[in-house]
Amino acid sequence: MGACTSKPSNLPSPNRSPPQPDVQNPNLTARKDEETGNPTRNGEEMDSWDGQEDVGIQKGKKSPFFALYTPSPANYLFSKKSPANSATPKRFFRPPPSPAKHIRAALARRRGRIGGSAVSGEGGGEEGGGEGGAGLDKSFGFSKGFAGKYEIGKEVGRGHFGYTCCAMSKKGEMKGQRVAVKVIPKAKVCFLF
Ligand SMILES: Nc1ncnc2c1ncn2[C@@H]1O[C@H](COP(=O)(O)OP(=O)(O)OP(=O)(O)O)[C@@H](O)[C@H]1O
């Protein structure tokens, strides 16, 4: 029974165990110097309290000439074991397809559609063998029997590529009707082939 004081008691507490000296070598004990606060071992001042810095320096490669030399961590980047030096996976360059091939295919299709003849048309001056393709009536065109089907009349007009003539149909459903035939010289369209 006694007064409670805030000052720590130096008396050993039954719950607190006293500091135990090293069992192997009781003389080798590390403790803080009471005056300087620096870690000491048997009275000699230590570099660090528990010697962790010593272990860290000794792990790195020390230069035999410079005691304080520590290898740069950048050396890891240039070492052979570095993943930065691992070979980049090879990329196989594939050149783009030649546009000439595409153009040649389009021209071949067009050539097959026109059949190598000069372009001609009728019915309001529409050109036969245009690029429409799918729904185009291929019965139009400047066929070998054109002279037998139509009687070419006088020229009614001119455009950039050819001229338009008035004609009379001789055969078929259009027999007896006047039509317009647009004639384009081969020389004007030969650059397409
Ligand atoms: N069905 C038609 N009836 C009467 N005249 C026409 C007819 N079609 C064309 N023409 C006349 O022929 C001229 C030329 O017509 P075309 O269709 O060849 O002109 P364009 O399309 O400008 O020519 P291009 O396509 O060669 O540049 C027109 O200006 C017009 O006077």
Does residue 24 lie within any of the structural domains? no
- Domain coverage including residue 139: 99-192
Does 18 fall in a domain? no
Which is higher by pLDDT, 68 or 29? 68
Using most ligand atoms within 8 A of CB, pick from 127, 155, 163, 164 the residue to mutate for ligand 1: 164
Residues 186 and 148 in one domain: yes
Q: Taking the CA atoms of the chain, what radius of gyration do you get in angstroms?
A: 52
Q: In this structure, are 116 and 186 located in the same domain?
A: yes
CA of 183 to the centre of ligand 1 (A): 10
Cβ atoms within 10 Å, residue 135:
5
- Count the helices and strands in the chain (H runs, E runs): 5, 7
105 with 172, same domain: the answer is: yes
Whether residues 105 and 144 share a domain: the answer is yes
CATH number at residue 140: 3.30.200
Strands 120-121 and 178-183 turn out to be: antiparallel
Q: For position 166, what pLDDT does the model report?
A: 92
Q: Report the C-alpha gap between 107 and 98 in whole angstroms.
A: 15
Identify whether 11 is part of a domain: no
Distance between CA 38 and CA 19 in Å, rounded? 19
Model confidence at 138: pLDDT above 60: no
- What is the 157 CA–ligand 1 centroid distance (Å)? 6
> In this model, does residue 185 exceed pLDDT 80?
no
**183 and 133 fall within a common domain:** yes
Distance from residue 141's CA to the centre of ligand 1 (Å): 17
Q: Tell whether 7 is covered by a domain.
A: no
Q: Is 46 in the pocket of ligand 1 (CB under 6 A)?
A: no
Mean predicted lDDT score pLDDT of the chain: 63
**By percentage, how much of the chain surpasses pLDDT 70?**
39
Domain shared by 125 and 78, yes or no:
no
Is the beta carbon of 189 within 6 A of some atom in ligand 1? no
43 occurs within a structural domain? yes
Sign of dihedral through CA atoms 133, 139, 143, 146?
Answer: negative
Total tally of structural domains belonging to the chain = 2
**Closest C-alpha to ligand 1, atom 22:** 159
Q: How confident is the model at residue 95 (pLDDT cuts 50, 70, 90)?
A: confident
